[in-house]
Amino acid sequence: MANLRQASLRHANLALVARTVLAAEAPPSRADVAAATSLTRSTVSRLVDELVTGGVLAEVDSAIGGPGQPGQPGRPSRPGRPGRPATPLTASTGRFAALGLQVGVGQLAARLVGLTGEVLAEQLVPLDLAGSRPGPSLRRLRTLTTRVLASTPPGMTVVGAGLALPGIVDHTEGRLLSAPNLGWEDVTPGAALRGALGDLTLCVGNEADLAAHAFAHPAPGRSSEPQDFVYLSGEVGIGGAVVVDGTVMTGRHGWAGEIGHVCVDPEGPTCRCGSTGCLEQYAGRLAMLAAAGLDASTPPAELARRAHAGDDKARTAVRSAARALGIALAGVVNVLDIPTVVLGGHLAQVGALLAPDVEAMLVRRVLSAHWVTSRVVTAPDDPAPGATGAALLALDRVVADPVAFVS
């Protein structure tokens, strides 16, 4: 029993030390970690040695500003205390990675992501998959998966894989129940990808949920601000996620956050989901381009350029989208008391135009606006944030349970 308690304590302390190092704004020393965790310096030193040897952490060579392990770029070192110089610690870049995949209406993506959040290899293929058949699309994704995994650097272990899908997903069975914009129903993608994945376990999730996770946690163990926000993922339609204290709220069945299908006008146009007047019929990429009189293949950046230049149709399309977003988001903010909105995908590309009108709508329609000002921010420009989020979730296992990997 005593041995079990000791083993359990070691597991917990290894995870605590790993999280502390990876969460630090600047590479901490062993002494910094001991102060932050209330563990003794000798205990921290022993645990750090295990994590460095196991490839979870790396030591930054303070003499040259590089890591203590060959081929692993480090962050700049900090001055140590008097006496023996402190050796800063950072995430290792040479041992662990995870595979992130994404199926979108406009593309397929495969990425290999390391412990620092860096994309080590990727394959992105633009495609029009609206109304496509799942089989051929997944076979193409399998080919991309094979190519990316073949790019894995020598000595690196791929610890898991995740797939981001634009629809309602059954997480427990790894099954896509419905993706209206793809036209897919009741699809289990793991079977089609198994030949490329080998022994890797595939976790399937909603694209917006995974993109929101990547925004909140750009690398395993690391958090960004804000940690409470409503995330909108824009592609052809609009996906959504709600994040509280850095954790995506998935709901009872894992289907929460479908903001794109919040009704803005019951008498509005029919949506592919079967309802009418859904938000994405006004603020989806295709809807905005059509309202601006532009071809469906036009980049959202061109819509933004025309609106900035004073094009009447483009400006009207942006105003209509902002009004619909304001109506839908005001209801979300009133219900959930989360006043920060993050725009991703095509919405981020026109975010500078949308934000003022959306914020003005929220001021008028949110009950708490007198005391708390809602704000709209944009996510980084990334064509496949869901793939990154899927990989990061797989890598979180390394931080949560280092023993399973350092041993």
What is the residue-level pLDDT of the chain in tens, covering all 407 positions? 555 466 688 899 999 999 999 999 999 999 999 999 999 999 999 999 999 999 999 998 754 444 444 334 444 444 444 445 689 999 999 899 999 999 999 999 999 999 999 999 999 999 999 999 999 999 999 999 999 999 999 999 999 999 999 999 998 999 999 999 999 999 999 999 999 999 999 999 999 999 999 999 999 999 999 999 999 999 888 999 999 999 999 888 888 989 999 999 999 999 988 899 999 999 999 999 999 999 998 999 999 999 999 999 999 999 999 999 999 999 999 999 999 999 999 999 999 999 999 999 999 999 999 999 999 999 998 999 999 999 999 999 999 999 988 86
pTM to 2 decimal places: 0.90
Start-end of CATH 1.10.10.10 domains in the chain:
2-91
Give the dihedral sign, CA 14/17/21/24. positive
106 CB-near residues (< 8 Å, 6+ apart): 126, 127, 128, 129, 235, 236
The structure tokens listed for 211 are 């993109």
Compute the residue count for the chain.
407
What is the C-alpha separation between 63 and 120, in angstroms, rounded?
A: 27
- Tell me the C-alpha to C-alpha distance, in Å, between residue 304 and each of 180, 300, 334: 27, 6, 29
β-pair partners for 121: 112
DSSP string, 149-201: HHTPPTTPEEEEEEEEESSEEETTTTEEEEETTTTEEEE-HHHHHHHHHTTPP
The structure tokens listed for 292 are 């601006």
Number of H helices, E strands in the chain: 14, 16
Say what the pLDDT of residue 64 is: 43
Protein fold of 2-91: Arc Repressor Mutant, subunit A (1.10.10)
Say what the pLDDT of residue 61 is: 76
Say what the pLDDT of residue 267 is: 92
Side-chain-side CA neighbours of 172 within 13 Å: the count stands at: 4
According to CATH, the superfamily of the domain at 96-214+385-406 is ATPase, nucleotide binding domain (3.30.420.40)
CATH of domain 224-378: 3.30.420.40
254: Cα separation from own chain's centroid? 16
The structure tokens listed for 167 are 């629809």
The structure tokens listed for 157 are 């272990």
Say what the pLDDT of residue 254 is: 86
* 87 three-class SS: coil
Start-end of CATH 3.30.420.40 domains in the chain:
96-214+385-406, 224-378
| Residue found by looking up tokens 């860096």 in the block | 118
DSSP state of 260: G
The structure tokens listed for 28 are 């901490």
What is the C-alpha separation between 201 and 190, in angstroms, rounded?
A: 9
